Amino acid sequence: MPSTSFLIVKPSSLGDIVHAFPLVAFIRQQIPDARIDWVANTEFVDLVKRHPDVRKVFPFPRSEWGSRAFFRSMGTMVSDLRAEEYDVILDIQGLLRSALLSRLARGKKRIGFSDAREGASLLYSVPVAPGDGTVSTLHAVLKNLQVMTSLGFDPKPIPSELVYSQEDERTLDLLLERSGLSEKNGFLVMHPGAKRAIKQWPSLYYSELIERLHRKYPKTPIVLIAGKKEQSLLEEIADRTTAGPVLLAGKLPIDLLPLFFKRTRLYIGNDSGPLHLAVLSETPTVSIFGSSNPERTGPFGFGGRHAVLRDPIECSPCGDFKANCPHRSCLVGVTPDRVLTEAERMLSVRHESVPVSLRNPPA
């Protein structure tokens, strides 16, 4: 295939963006001189820029929706986007707004999934049926790759790496020192939050787990991470313990999280974006799944490095987009004992790891 230009439309969410990175790596492997650009929500732009195979990232101002600033920012983005022309536009978000973004861009071919929601598939020139029809059990990484079948490829997942410099290492050191974390590596990291409450393991369970891990590994720092708005959740969990965990709510930029996780002995958390960044960093993880299906959105790759815990009651998984649940029995059924057992097993195994690439980002 001759030199080809691609635009990937995948604005969100964090975990979904990470699951799209192998698509970029596959395109680069198959078409070494391809030009690959991306449309991402503003808050994820810096992370996507870390991928060495992405040339340019267009910021979609989703967080400004409903304000005057949205129209100004959107106008700038559309102007910049339409200054480019693409051979192939890949909408792997599969929503009406992502399909409309695909239409705003200038391209010869628009490819998306035939099962896209909100009628989005009507706006594609080439709708692709993912997998063999068993979409519910096809992992998101493999589903994203399926768009390449319409171009004659037999896609395979290619590991991705993000690029960091020594200056990034020093920036992270300074952030950790300012947050009261004197150690530079060897942490136990927990992320108790999630985009929707239906995915959150009970906070009482986190408190019990922290206390027991602290007794077992008293010299190992325990760090709780979350977004700025979840500071109270971290405080609630920490206040029930004597472990004195370090609380990092909104303290670490998203694009530096993979570098932070590379220094982490073990990550424990719910089905959320940071989990998949930890997986990308080859950090061992223990994750708790309830409403979502780990066969579709669980940790991808690296064999026994990741443990997924769930209580397979009749109503679980109930779907990634369900807003509320009156009982959350699927999460309550995953006891601190079970998580502790898996955590101890993971901590007892030596996991070979390839360092995160430390080189200057491409100009």
- The edge-to-edge listing of strands for the beta sheet with 35-41 is 56-60, 35-41, 5-9, 85-91, 106-113, 126-128
Q: What is the pLDDT of residues 7-23, one digit of tens each?
A: 999 999 999 999 999 99
Same-domain status, 189 and 121: no
Quick one: CA dihedral 66, 70, 71, 72, positive or negative?
positive
Q: Are residues 294 and 197 in the same domain?
A: yes
State the CB neighbour count (10 A cutoff) for residue 38: 24
Whether residue 177 sits in one domain with residue 144: no
Specify the pTM. 0.92
pLDDT at 302 over 90: no
Q: Mark which of 123, 151, 179 sits at the end of a domain.
A: 151
- Rounded to whole angstroms, the Cα distance separating 360 from 344 reads 37
Q: What is the CATH number of the domain that holds 142?
A: 3.40.50.2000
Amino acid, single-letter form, for residue 138: L
User: At 354, is the pLDDT very low, low, confident or very high (cuts 50, 70, 90)?
Assistant: very low
Instruction: Look at residue 301 in the predicted model and tell me its pLDDT.
Output: 80
Model confidence at 96, pLDDT cuts 50, 70, 90, reads very high
pLDDT at 323 over 80: no
Give the containing element (helix H, strand E) for 220: none
Of the candidates 105, 106, 144, 104, the residue with the CA atom closest to the CA atom of residue 128: 144
Asked whether the predicted pLDDT for residue 171 surpasses 80, the reply is yes
Domain that includes residue 210, residue range: 163-358
For the cut 80, the answer to whether the pLDDT of residue 317 exceeds it is: no
Give one DSSP letter per residue of 255-323, joined into a string.
GGHHHHHTTEEEEEEESSHHHHHHHHTT--EEEE-SSS-HHHHS--SSGGGEEEE----TT-S--TT--
Q: What is the reported pLDDT for 351?
A: 58
Domain count, the chain: 2
Count the neighbouring beta carbons within 10 Å of the beta carbon of residue 170: 10
| Chosen domain end from 151, 171, 190 | 151
Confidence bin at 51 (pLDDT 50/70/90): very high
Rounded to an integer, the average pLDDT of 66-94 is: 96
* pLDDT in the model for residue 363: 38
pLDDT at 360 over 60: no
- Of 151, 174, 203, the residue at which a domain comes to its end is 151
Q: Is residue 112 domain-shared with residue 170, that is, in the same domain? A: no
* d(C-alpha 317, C-alpha 311), whole Å: 10
Q: Specify burial of residue 84 (Cβ count, 10 A radius: 0-12, 13-18, 19+).
A: middle
Region 323-345: mean pLDDT is 88
Which residue is listed with tokens 């707004």? 97
